[in-house]
Structure 1
């Protein structure tokens, strides 16, 4: 047995041996541990490239590395494709607004759902965001109308009832043809707080209040639920006492 093997064997057998830390060379790459957050990418690019990365990084769900990948995809993509993308972004900001009745996104004063006389005029489904309307529409389980709150009650984020379209909902309920309100806020802490507040405000009006049935993932967002699960939750909605 070599001297090196004997030395290592003695080290492994020693009852109180101190582990030897691997030597790091200056500037060696260090991978963040499981409880460490990856820091932002240092601004190493010049001018327009770095400006694009910074702006993309401000979008929800896009971190520093994703912003960098998207930026370089834009640089390498066909110029006409990127021109159409830029025009689509500009157009949506210029043309799209919120429906005067339900606050869903619309290019007209009122959205196509509110304009559709074939929809059930007696039922209103209350959701947090316009993307929730799209999620429910995909299930083809609801033929009533909607009311978009524009968010959910969140004291941490500084959002209270006054920041949501709750007053406008109450104004809509002056129409005596409405017999049911479906509360379809997200099944998370903020969504449940919003639902509880709505029940307290709407219960004295004598209108039937319902909530989506169990089956949706707790803590999730309505928009991420698959169509079948969301459709079943809608069809099995329960009355709130």
Structure 2
């Protein structure tokens, strides 16, 4: 009986993942159990390794295995251009496109009066510090085209006015769209056609 409780608990946990409901979680768990040696055991070990080592980059907010992520430590990255994104998923979406060769800054969300999220709850003060200390000349605001995203972009633009060139993503990003759901070609077109604010 205890093994059924363990399996049921695993299904319940899997059902909490984005894109999985109870039925999909049951199918996934059953598949993992059937392929225990090939999938379940390696997945469990990899998940434990990530749980033990994953941490937020102290510099930009990306997720990596060290205190400072590989993007921030890479000497091949342009240091004068900073791409500001809402979430780590957006950073990863930008990286998938392979077009941007600068560095990133993850805000950790957007400004929202309804949710009591102000500039200090996000990494906006850290962004202002980075612009001053790292010799940043351009900030690309690659925020989601939502009301909160645009409000955040305008707030950041006010904070950095006169310090750097500001631009935002252009064509290809639909109003209300989120970067994580866009294909690589759309992200590439939007990044290449960015416009001044």
Identify unmatched segments of 5+ residues in structure 1: 1-44
Check 1:67–1:159 CA distance in 2 against 1; reply closer, same or farther (3 A cut).
farther
Deviations for 1:196-236, whole angstroms, at most 9, x for unmatched residues?
22122222x43111000122122221122111111111111
Which structure shows the bigger proportion of residues in helix conformation? Answer: 2
- Give, in angstroms, the shift of residue 181 of structure 1: 0.5
Structure possessing the higher radius of gyration over alpha carbons = 1
Instruction: Please state how far the C-alpha of 1:126 moved relative to its aligned partner.
Output: 0.3
User: Which of residues 85, 88, 99 is equivalent to 2:57?
Assistant: 99
Do structure 1's residue 52 and structure 2's residue 47 form an aligned pair?
no
Matched, 1:209 2:174: no
Which residue of structure 2 aligns with residue 169 of structure 1? Answer: 127
| Greater RCO (CA < 8 Å, at least 6 residues apart) | 2
TM-score (norm 1): 0.74
Match of 2:36 in 1: 78
Shift in Å at residue 239 of structure 1? 0.4
> Could you say what the CA RMSD is over the residues aligned between the two structures, in angstroms?
2.0
- Residues in 1 aligned to 2:31 and 2:76: alpha-carbon distance in whole angstroms: 44
Q: Which residue of structure 2 lines up, in the alignment, with residue 219 of structure 1?
A: 176
How far off its partner does 1:46 sit?
4.7
How many residues align? The count is: 195
Aligned-partner SS, 1:82 = helix
Cα offset for 1:58?
Answer: 1.8
Alpha-carbon shift at residue 183 of structure 1 (Å): 0.2
Q: Deviations over 1:115-137 (max 9, x none)?
A: 11222111100011222222222
Report the CA distance between 1:80 and its aligned residue.
4.6
Q: 2:145 maps to what in 1? A: 187
Q: CA deviation at 1:173?
A: 1.6
